[in-house]
Structure 1
Amino acid sequence: MGTISNLTNTFPLHIRKFKFPSSSSSSSYRFPLSTLSCSTPEPESNTTTSISQTPNSNATSYFPKRGQTLELLCESLAFKGKGLCKVTDTGFVVMCDRALPGERFIGRITRKKGNYAEAAKLQTLTPPFDTVDAPCVYVPHCGGCKTQNLAYHAQVKAKEEQVRELIIHVGRFSQKELELHGIMKPIVPCDIQFNYRNKMEFSFGPYKWLPKESMHERNDDGGSENYALGLHVPGYFDKIINVDKCLLQTDPANKVLAAIQECWRDPQLGFSPYNVHSHVGFLKHLMLRSGRDVMTGLPEIMVNFVTSSYKPELLKVLVDKVSAFPEVVGT
């Protein structure tokens, strides 16, 4: 062992160039001679070796931002008829209302969730599979029949796939068990696709909701012509689409609805629709329940008016109007 100050003169030239600590503190720096290499250093090379950057395995996955516009492809239908879509070339899942299987479209991200996002459809690039013309005029805006423009056999297939996914992922059955033990039977289509609902509830409102392309039809005078009786716009409790006929309920129920629509806006009757913001108004809801006589099989209708206060004398005109229909057996 030796101190640094006594050994520096015996080192080769390339070792002497190293700046050692001063001799005043040399006593605290001792190391074995074997740790010093006296071999001649390799000449420096003028070439530079490129080091490839290894991809970071912990890099964050693709996640769109709110308001971002993307090209999406709808692969299937999910719960409540929403389209299960994928972002092109990423596989990121986006749920979109009124998107149908096979449809490629431009969508805007409206909400971000934990591992997926929600979008609104802006423009269709490629039409979906198995589309048909929707018989109801309110389909583009009403929330009752979002997939009415999808062929019925495709709707049945989509519903069967949804049930199968629930049994496998929630019920924890394997695909093999479903087929081997017959746990899931094939879906049975319904013979009646319309006019099957036995109950419908319509809401009264002070203003008709109109789409942008129909805003010129609005009367800004605030009269009874703007009153609405119909169904809610999806996602809004205070916006009502005026509905004159609904294909979900029976034909006798639609006749009763049409008769009420003809007269309830008459200013001389003094009816006022209930305003959910100011809590002012009389008529709140109209409920129509359809059934059949157990003996004759003839259709029967029960009509209920839901009001903000008990004033049966005000409803007498409407009650007399609907009671003229032979199918109406109770009001």
Structure 2
Amino acid sequence: MSTLQKNDIHRGRVIDLTHEGHGVIKIDRYPIFIPQALIGEEIEYKVIKVKKNFAIGKLLNVLKESEDRVEPPCVYYYKCGGCQLQHMTYEAQLAMKKEQVVNLFHRKGGFEDVIIHDTIGMENPWRYRNKSQIPVGTNKDQQAIMGFYRQRSHQIIDMDECLIQAPIHQEIMNKVKQWFNELNVSIYDEQKKQGLMRHVVIRTGHYSGEVMVIFVTNGKKFKESNIFVERLQEAFPQIVSIKQNINTSHSNVIMGPQSVTLIGKDTLQDTLSEVEFKMSDQSFYQINTEQTEHLYQRALDYANLQGEEIVLDTYCGIGTIGLYMAQQAKHVYGVEVVQDAIDNAQDNATKNRFNNTTFVCGKAEEVILKWKAQGIKPDVVMIDPPRKGCDETFLNTVLELNPKRIVYISCNPSTQQRDAKILDQQYKLKQITPVDMFPQTTHVETVAQFDRK
């Protein structure tokens, strides 16, 4: 235990960065984590939290700056929790993300001989988000505010601009906020669990330019809906769908199970490498279209398809990666637990005239065993799980199938490293590429190739 006290002011030199991008200073081997401090900097900081094994500091002054330090272009950066790395050059962000993967696999995971490539970055790492989920609240004057949460809180920072979301989202958000106030729309209060409007979700087709707007409400009655439909259509002709999603649960989940189309289409259309996709309001679709193409191309390279392989896509969603691979495979089988997503996947296969795909709704480990019983033997298994990674039952089922190769995409390299240890019984982890899907934030996506030993 350190002798540090809360509110102490110290000086020190930053020796490392955590995976969250916080600077690390050590006093007698006891670490202090300081957000927005960079390696090599001499800083002055205030201790704001003291725990048994670490402390948290607040950066007060940078006495000697790192050459990786830049002035964040966003005026809300130091308040908003949406981005964590705007104070760092983009080259340094990419290097930090690779280092995170090296640390997990080479140093902690014991995969010393896996090749870890440089992070694939963006030419222009701004304005990339094709989906925005914007919370709605009120200020002390009971005026509607919209923006993103302050770091580690549920306090909304009212903002007029966000540099990582598509510009059209910003324009729509500002208009909608103005109309909420003009029409005196009831706004949901998280503390009291009362009021109507909770979130506004905006989705854009990166290539199609189509826009979908979803009002997330606490209840079905949305008496101003006709006015919003009329005004939005008039102001933004690129809007092809306006929906209302009903979420009456008092949890952190943004969208509820039921959606109603107020006007326009039920789905949004976009293209990924010449494959057309339809997605509903709740379909999972990668946030950064440009980087998704790099990610999927690398996954395709790792799958090394020659045209005769059977591919199993185990968290297939609306079929994005499966249809991407269907162009070079004999047959693609996709499985997913969300029925809506499977409906989209089947529509997408039909729309793109793929006759070599089968999409089924169900739990991956159960459906895989049914397919196995029918004599379907995959050559390549594609895994792209949620942040929590794969459960052991699922991984053991994949091991039972014993494919030639496994390609594993992950949005959380630490759970991927945990899962790699189970796969290591039968598979050699050959190479990993980090992809920067979320520039200016600490998140890194990875794609890994496992070959049967």
Alignment TM class, shorter chain as reference: 0.5 to 0.7
Q: Gaps spanning 5+ residues in structure 1: where?
A: 1-60, 208-219
C-alpha contact (below 8 Å) 2:135/2:146 kept by paired residues: yes
RMSD of aligned alpha carbons: 2.1
TM-score by length of 1: 0.67
Give 1:69 deviation, angstroms.
2.2
Write the distance in 2 (CA, Å) between the matches of 1:319 and 1:270: 16
Partner of 2:163: 247
- Whether 1:72 and 2:31 are equivalent positions in the alignment is no
Show CA shifts across 1:272-304 (max 9, x none): 321111222221111111224xxxx33121111
Partner of 2:74: 136
Show CA shifts across 1:132-156 (max 9, x none): 2222111121111221121111111
Show CA shifts across 1:213-252 (max 9, x none): xxxxxxx6x242xx31111111111x11011121111122
Q: Secondary structure of the equivalent of 1:80?
A: coil
- Whether 1:301 and 2:175 are equivalent positions in the alignment is no
User: Which of 12, 17, 22 does residue 82 from structure 1 map onto?
Assistant: 22
- Whether 1:264 and 2:180 are equivalent positions in the alignment is yes
Q: Secondary structure of the equivalent of 2:148?
A: strand
User: Which of 132, 136, 158 does residue 204 from structure 1 map onto?
Assistant: 136
Show CA shifts across 1:78-102 (max 9, x none): 2222222334xx4431111222223
Q: In structure 2, give the amino acid aligned to 1:122.
A: L
Q: Gaps spanning 5+ residues in structure 2: where?
A: 243-453
Q: Secondary structure of the equivalent of 2:46?
A: strand
Give 1:321 deviation, angstroms.
2.2
Partner of 2:191: 277
Partner of 1:103: 41
Partner of 1:13: none
Write the distance in 2 (CA, Å) between the matches of 1:303 and 1:77: 38
Partner of 2:93: 155
Partner of 1:319: 229
Partner of 1:169: 107
Partner of 2:204: 290
Write the distance in 1 (CA, Å) between the matches of 2:193 and 2:231: 27
Show CA shifts across 1:106-145 (max 9, x none): 2222333443222222233222332222221111211112
Residues 117 and 318 of structure 1: CA distance in aligned 2, closer, same or farther (over 3 Å): same
C-alpha contact (below 8 Å) 1:102/1:129 kept by paired residues: no
Write the distance in 2 (CA, Å) between the matches of 1:62 and 1:244: 43
C-alpha contact (below 8 Å) 2:9/2:46 kept by paired residues: yes
Q: Secondary structure of the equivalent of 1:306?
A: strand
Write the distance in 2 (CA, Å) between the matches of 1:82 and 1:322: 41
Partner of 1:229: 146
Write the distance in 2 (CA, Å) between the matches of 1:223 and 1:189: 42
Identify the structure with the greater strand proportion: 2
C-alpha contact (below 8 Å) 1:69/1:108 kept by paired residues: yes
How many residue pairs get aligned? The number is 241
Identity of aligned residues (%): 27
Q: Secondary structure of the equivalent of 2:210?
A: strand
